[in-house]
Amino acid sequence: MFTMKKLALVGAAGLAALSMSCSDSGDESNPGGKIENLELGTASTGGVYPIKGIITAEGEANLVKSVTITATNGGDAQRSGNEAIDAETVTLESLGYKLVPNCSGANGKITLKVKATFADGDPAELDKEFDVKCTVVPTLPTGFDKTETITLGGPNSALGSFLDIDATPFAIYTQSQAGDKKNDIDLFFEGANFITPSYAPSTGLGSQVSGSTSVATLCKVASGTTLSNVDAVIDYFLDECSEEGEASVPVEANGSYIVFTSAENLALLKLQGDVTATITIVTGRAPLDL
């Protein structure tokens, strides 16, 4: 026979169980899809890894809406383009995702954190650690009076694409800023090439510097060339670069470039790693005193 005390205990236990059930159901997620086969591909010449993986929406008429990837320990996960997804299945390679391993030392560990959202259901998330070879930071020749590491973006990047090397610090301008600063700009990165305002096309990024009075010239340093100091850079510029400069210079992994600016400074640009949606450049500037 139940006593009042026993009935009270049974009632309290039932309420606790109900409370736990409600709490547990509230914490459960219901992802609208899944992330599978997350891997890194073979590194390019510049040390950049393609990011591989498949994201699939589950459920009738469900779609993948967005994908974001972040990286730890100095890694930089980049995507080419900003186009919408809206697909039942999408691969990370098709979205142009790449990993730039800007970690310290020769080798490192970087964790990729992938998040996908769907038209229906909760986001799916996946973290995975990878062993990578870290990108080597270029070393500039000695003697430059101003050095900086800068990042430029191409046409589809939110970062600026236009560079003024005469400014202190070096100035980077976006497309919306470039028109007002066109006479100060020494070059811009249009996604595959460096171009100076003198040779800028009338379309695309070039239209932003139409009518510029900048007379900056540009020259690519031959692969394998060793330039130990600023005097060697000046000698190379005088002996190997044309007075008119080159109209368009392909941007290559770990490439080196000389710029003669409108203010008669000489700059050396050394690309760090590969060419992706954005590029990192170690840059030195010195007055050209002939």
pLDDT, tens digit, 9 for 90 and up, residues 213-264: 999 999 999 988 999 999 999 999 999 999 889 988 999 988 999 999 989 9
Question: What confidence tier does 27 reach under pLDDT thresholds 50, 70, 90?
Answer: low
Q: Where are the domains of the chain?
A: 33-133, 146-287
Q: What's the pLDDT score for residue 82?
A: 64
119-125-126-127 Cα dihedral, nearest 10 degrees: 140
Residue 105 has pLDDT above 50, yes or no: yes
pLDDT, tens digit, 9 for 90 and up, residues 30-80: 889 999 999 999 988 778 899 999 999 999 899 999 999 999 887 889 887
Which stretches does DSSP call E strand in the chain?
Answer: 33-40, 49-57, 64-71, 75-79, 89-91, 97-101, 107-118, 124-133, 146-153, 162-164, 171-173, 187-189, 193-195, 217-220, 248-250, 256-260, 265-272, 278-287
Mean pLDDT score of the chain, rounded to an integer? Answer: 87
pLDDT, tens digit, 9 for 90 and up, residues 73-84: 878 898 876 667
**The overall pTM is greater than 0.85:** no
Average pLDDT on 175-188 reads 95
Q: What's the pLDDT score for residue 44?
A: 82
Percentage of residues in the chain with pLDDT exceeding 70?
Answer: 88
Residue 9 has pLDDT above 70, yes or no: no
Q: CATH topology for 33-133?
A: Immunoglobulin-like (2.60.40)
Residue 14 has pLDDT above 50, yes or no: no
Q: What's the pLDDT score for residue 107?
A: 84
Given a contact cutoff of 8 angstroms between Cβ atoms, the answer to whether 276 and 253 are in contact is no
Average pLDDT on 8-14 reads 45
Kindly report the number of other CB atoms within 10 A of residue 218's CB atom.
24
Residue 108 has pLDDT above 80, yes or no: yes
